[in-house]
């Protein structure tokens, strides 16, 4: 659903992200208003609590970090009023200079995927984000409408490849008919989308900081979203081990690891700066 005139086209997401990493560092902070975090912050588990939590984080961290990643489910559970909060989070985050990755992990048959693309990757939508997380498990080609819409509007995609949860193995490490793992086929498709892009493509995989060994080439000439850093136990040493020379493409993402420092804005900023300094070690 579109609501406004199309604004000026943005530069490609990969180029904007590359510039932002140079200016602000490589950290992504997830804005995940867990009920337990609302409680820890002294807030009620209702729309007012959600709004206070999410906007406090967005206002504090939008001027600080390269990427903010709201997890849509935590807003959707409050229905349309929760989604209205999500729209505000996107607006505040982008106005503050952060890139927004909307974590929705969407994927569907192509015609429906176009509707998801319209919802998150078209600047006329109130939920327009710089990037979105996508699920390729209906077949990578089913994401084509998202790829094309992202290209048209300077947005990007992070496609699930080797996720941070242990259950991901059974699908992602399964072997396809041609002998490649499913994850390797996703990575190969992303590499094709990013061919020739400079300084960085706009299409990247999601690879958890908690995995043992990728077992495949993770360099796709695009950014790699790496959740699992922080609360799930992933460390900079893990990322060095998993990504090797490709660590320079990594966008480490933490939610609870920073959010638990709230509710004071100054404490959130301090926690984000510590994490940003920690992951800067990947540049060295
Ligand atoms: O796509 C994601 O962001 C994602 C992929 C993945 O493999 N693992 C993973 O944890 N995530 C998301 O990253 C966030 C992790 O939050 P923390 O564990 O609190 O840092 C959650 O919003 C997850 O939904």
Domains and CATH numbers, the chain: 21-211+220-283 (3.20.20.70)
Count of Cβ atoms closer than 10 Å to residue 73 Cβ: 12
Q: Does the beta carbon of 222 sit less than 6 angstroms from any atom of ligand 1?
A: no
**105 is an active site residue:** yes
Query: Cα(198)–Cα(191) distance, rounded to whole angstroms?
Result: 13
Model confidence at 224, in pLDDT bands (50, 70, 90)?
Answer: very high
Give the tokens for residue 29: 């902070």
Give the tokens for residue 182: 């499913």
Q: Which listed residue (26, 52, 69, 105) is catalytic?
A: 105
Peptide bond into 199 cis (omega under 30): yes
- pLDDT (mean) for 182-194: 98
Give the tokens for residue 135: 């699920």
What is the model's pTM? 0.96
Residue 90 has pLDDT above 90, yes or no: yes
- Please tell me which residue, 28 or 7, carries the higher pLDDT value: 28
Residue 5 has pLDDT above 70, yes or no: no
Count of Cβ atoms closer than 10 Å to residue 241 Cβ: 15
Determine the residue of 162, 253, 271 to mutate for testing ligand 1's pocket, defined as the one with the most ligand atoms within 8 A of the Cβ atom. 253
Asked whether the beta carbons of 278 and 235 are under 8 A apart, the reply is no
State the distance between the two ends of the chain, measured CA to CA, in whole angstroms: 44
């Amino acid at each position: 659903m579109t609501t406004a005139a199309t604004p000026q086209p943005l530069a490609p997401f990969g180029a904007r992200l590359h510039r932002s990493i140079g200016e602000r560092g490589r950290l992504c902070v997830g804005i995940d208003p867990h009920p337990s975090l609302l409680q820890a912050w002294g807030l009620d588990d209702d729309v007012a609590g959600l709004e206070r939590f999410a906007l406090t984080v967005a206002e504090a961290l939008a001027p600080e970090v390269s990427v903010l990643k709201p997890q849509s489910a935590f807003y959707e559970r409050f229905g349309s009023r929760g989604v209205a909060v999500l729209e505000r989070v996107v607006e505040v985050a982008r106005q503050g200079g952060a890139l927004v990755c909307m974590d929705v992990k969407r994927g569907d048959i192509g015609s429906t995927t176009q509707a998801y693309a319209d919802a998150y990757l078209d600047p006329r939508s109130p939920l327009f984000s710089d990037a979105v997380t996508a699920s390729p498990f209906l077949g990578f080609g089913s994401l084509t409408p998202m790829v094309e819409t992202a290209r048209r509007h300077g947005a990007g995609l992070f496609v699930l490849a080797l996720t941070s949860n242990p259950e991901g193995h059974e699908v992602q490490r399964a072997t396809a008919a041609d002998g490649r793992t499913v994850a390797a086929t996703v990575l190969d498709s992303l590499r094709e989308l990013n061919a020739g892009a400079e300084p960085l493509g706009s299409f990247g995989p999601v690879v958890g900081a908690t995995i043992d060994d990728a077992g495949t080439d993770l360099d796709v000439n695009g950014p790699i979203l790496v959740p699992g850093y922080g609360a799930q136990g992933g460390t900079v040493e893990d990322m060095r081990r998993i990504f090797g020379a490709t660590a320079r493409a990594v966008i480490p993402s933490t939610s609870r690891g920073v959010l638990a420092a709230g509710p004071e804005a100054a404490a959130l900023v301090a926690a984000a700066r510590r994490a940003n300094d920690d992951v800067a070690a990947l540049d060295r």
